[in-house]
Structure 1
Amino acid sequence: MSISAINVRNQFRGKIKEVIEGPVVSEVDVETPSGLIVTSVVTTRSVKELQLVPGKEVIALVKSTEVSIAAL
């Protein structure tokens, strides 16, 4: 499957660094070429269906109506 067009503007290409599987949901860490880590929480079923394993090249797509920032 390939994506020919998508409306998500925040896209981070990278490789899966780590997958922490839980019984229902899992954490997937994606490392970009610049070293940025993007973490996604997805269903464990999706991890298996998409064959998400360390080293696999993926694109992390981020679409959000709100981004919160806290002052330090």
Structure 2
Amino acid sequence: MKISARNQLRGKVTQVRKGVITAQVKMRIETPATLTAVITREAVQEMKIKRGDDVLAVIKATSIMVSK
């Protein structure tokens, strides 16, 4: 997938916590750190995000998105 955003971090999903509307996706990023993104539950289901998946954190000025 090609995107214009330059603030990107590759990582591996370590946990997915689904709420009623949103979900928290915790990922281990390439530098020794963990990042948690809050995204919609629908996005988790559409991208079939699960523990162990390789993902890309795309960081905007106001939020962090997840790409797979």
| TM-score, scaled relative to structure 1 | 0.77
SS at structure 2 position matched to 1:64: coil
SS at structure 2 position matched to 1:9: coil
User: Do the aligned partners of 2:16 and 2:23 also contact (CA within 8 Å) in 1?
Assistant: yes
Identity over aligned residues, as a percent?
Answer: 32
Aligned with residue 19 of structure 1, among 16, 24, 47: 16
User: Do the aligned partners of 1:31 and 1:37 also contact (CA within 8 Å) in 2?
Assistant: yes
1:18 Cα deviation from its structure 2 partner: 0.6
**1:52 is matched with which residue?**
49
Between Structure 1 and Structure 2, the one with more strand by share is 2
Question: Could you list the runs of 4 or more consecutive aligned residues of structure 1 that deviate by over 6 angstroms after TM superposition?
Answer: none
Count of equivalent residues: 62
* 5+ long unaligned stretches in structure 2: 63-68
| TM-score, scaled relative to structure 2 | 0.81
In structure 2, what is the Cα distance between the partners aligned to 1:17 and 1:38?
Answer: 10
RMSD: 1.3
* 5+ long unaligned stretches in structure 1: 66-72
1:32 Cα deviation from its structure 2 partner: 1.2
